[in-house]
Amino acid sequence: MNADFNLTKHHITVLLVDDQFLIGEVVRRMLAKEKDISFHYCQNPDKAIETACQVSPTVILQDLHMPSQEVGLALLHQFKTDPATLDVPLIILSTNETPLIKAETFSKGANDYIVKLPDRLEVIARIRYHSGAYINRLERNEAYSALLKSQNKLEVRNRFIREAFGRYISDEIVEEVLETPGGLRLGGEKRIVTILMADLRGFTSLSEAMSAEDVVDMLNIFLETMTEVILEHYGTINTFIGDAIMVVFGAPQKRNDDAMRAVTCALVMQKKMSDVNKQCLKKGYPQLKMGIGINTGEVVAGNIGSHKRLKYDFIGHNVNIAARIEAYSIGGQILISKKTLQACKQKLIIASQMQVVAKGIKKPILIYDIIGVNGDDGLSLVSNEKLFLMQMDKPFPVHLTIIDNENRAGSIVLQGTVLKLGPAATEIKASRNCRLLTNLSFSLIDTDKKMLTSEAYGKVTEIISKTPPVFRINFTFIPNEIELFFEKILKKRAESSI
C-alpha cells in the first residue's frame, strides 16, 4: 500500500464494506457534500480486499455482521493481516454495544468502533481523524523513503568518488572534497603549493626492446609502489604521463609542512626503487632509475574543462620550473629549488648546489641535490659523489652526442675516451668541454673498433678538468649489451689487479 501511495495532499478515500445496500446509500449521502472525501462501497465481503487494492482507501468502514459476526471478524482479521491494508485505519460499524464484542474487535486490530447508525457529524469527524493520522504517517514514510533513497544514491556516488579519486589523492583529501559545498565547480584560485616531478631515466629506449605487455607490467610495478608512497605523504597525484608522475602538495588541502612532506616523499620514493627493482628482477626486467625535481611557488589551482569533463589541474610558471629541475636530475637523484629549500627551513642535507639556465626560464635557477634530512638516518641516500670508478689500463673510445633537453635530438658530436668506469658512471676525456648537467647519448666502440650501440644515455655531473676536457657522466640508461661489456671489462680489470 505504501509503495503505491500517490494521493493529493489531505485527500480522504473511504471504503465502506457492508452487505446491506441501504447502509451503503446512507453513508454515501452523509459524505456526498464533503469535497475532499471520495466514497467507495463494497457489498460483497469476499471482494473487499480486491476493492481495497483498487481504490487505496485512507480509512475503511466495515460492518461487523455480514450476515454473521463470524464473517465480520474473519474479514477484520483479513484486513489486518493483508500487506495491502494492514496499516489502513479500520472503523467497525455494528448495532451491538456489548463491551466483550468491542474488546474482541480491538484485539483483532480495529482502530475504532461506531454503533449504527451514528450522527453524520460524528462519522465525518472520525473519518477525518483516522484518515488524517494515516495520511500524515504515509507522508512521513514517503519522505523518509525518499530520504533513504537520496542517501543511498549519495552514498553510491561518494563511494565511487572515494574509489576513483582515492587512487590519486589521499582518503583525507577525498573526504574534504566531498564535504565542501561546490567542491566540483569550474574555476580556480591562486595558492602556494609544492610540485614534485618524477620520471624514469631511459625508459623510452628501454621499452622499445620489450613487449608491450612487459612494458605495461613493469610500469605498473613502478607506479603502484610510488602511488602508495605519495598517498602516505598526502600528495595529490595530478597526472601520470607514461613513466612520469606529477604530484602536488598543498592542494586541494593545504598543510603547514607541504614542502617538507614533498621532499620526504621524494626521499622515500627513491629508497623504494630498490623494492621496484627487486620485483623487476624476479620477472626478468631491467633495473629502473628515477630522477625527481621539486619546486615551491604560486600556481593557479582549480577545476579546468567543461561541465561534462573536468580536471583538477595546476597551471603556472612554477609548474614549468619543477619540470625543468626534474630534467636535470639523474637516476637516484632529488633536485629542489631554492624556494623549496627555504620552505623546509634548512632541515635538509645538501650534497651539492648548482646554478642552471633552463630553456623557457628567463632567470638562472639555483638547484640543490638533496640526499637526506637532518636527524633522520632512515631517509639518507647514498651521495652520488661516492660512486665507484675504476681506472682503465687501456682507455677505449666513445662517440658522444649532446642532446637537447626538449627534443632529445642532437647535432653536436664529440669524440672521447673512457678513462675510468663504474657500474653507474664513467669518466671521459673528450674533444671539447661540456657544461654541467648536459644530457648526452653515446655509442661505445669495443676493442675491435666495432660500435656496440648508440642507445646509451647519461648526464654530465662533474667537470674534472677544462684543459684537457675531462668530465664525469652518470648513466641514465644503458642497454644490456653495454652493461655486459662494462661488466666484462670491470671483471677483467679486477682479476688483473689481484
In this structure, the answer to whether residues 132 and 197 fall within a common structural domain is no
Arithmetic mean of pLDDT, 84-96: 90
Q: What CATH number is given to the structural domain containing 235?
A: 3.30.70.1230
pLDDT of residue 16: 94
54/77 same-domain check: yes
352 strand-pairing partners: 369
Of 336, 355, 384, the position where a domain reaches its end is: 384
Looking at residues 219-237, what average pLDDT do you find? 90
CA 477 vs CA 200, 288, 291, 459, 485: distances in Å: 9, 9, 12, 10, 14
Provide the domain limits for residue 272.
192-384
CATH classification of the domain holding 391: 2.40.10.220
Is residue 356 in some structural domain? yes
pLDDT at position 385, please?
Answer: 45
- On whether both 264 and 412 belong to a single domain, the answer is no
Do 91 and 123 lie in a common domain? yes
| Final residue of a structural domain among 336, 369, 384 | 384
What's the number of domains the chain is made of?
3
Residues 302 and 424 in one domain: no
> Which letter, b or e, does each residue of 309-332 get, where b requires 16 or more Cβ atoms within 10 Å of its Cβ?
eeebbbeeebbbbbbbbbbbbbbb
- What is the model's pLDDT at position 148? 66
* Residue 379 and residue 243 share a domain: yes
Choice among 48-57, 314-323, 446-455 with the minimum mean pLDDT = 446-455
Burial 69-94 (b: 16+ CB within 10 A, else e): eebbbebbeebbeeebbeebbbbbbb
Q: What percent of the chain has pLDDT over 90?
A: 29
The per-residue pLDDT of the chain, averaged, comes to: 81
Dihedral sign computed on CA atoms, order 121, 123, 126, 127: negative
Please check whether residue 156 lies inside any domain of the structure. no
What interhelical angle do 212-232 and 258-282 show, nearest 10?
Answer: 150
Quote the CA–CA distance of 335 and 437 in Å, as a whole number: 12
Res 369 pLDDT > 70 = yes
Same domain, 12 and 136: yes
**423 preceded by cis ω (within 30°)?**
no
Q: Is residue 355 part of a domain?
A: yes
User: In terms of domains, do 111 and 10 share one?
Assistant: yes
Q: Are 432 and 391 in contact (CB under 8 A)?
A: no
Same structural domain for residues 198 and 333? yes
Is 157 inside any structural domain?
Answer: no
Last residue of a domain, one of 332, 354, 384: 384
| pLDDT of 451 above 80 | no
Say if residue 412 is in the same domain as residue 359.
no
Query: Do residues 374 and 403 both lie within one domain?
Result: no
According to the model, what pLDDT value does residue 246 have?
Answer: 92
> Domain for residue 179, yes or no?
no
Identity of the highest mean pLDDT range in 33-37, 137-141, 160-164, 175-179: 33-37
Asked whether residue 164 is assigned to any structural domain, the reply reads no
Say whether both 238 and 327 belong to one domain.
Answer: yes
Residue 313 inside a domain? The answer is yes
Q: What is the pTM of this model?
A: 0.60
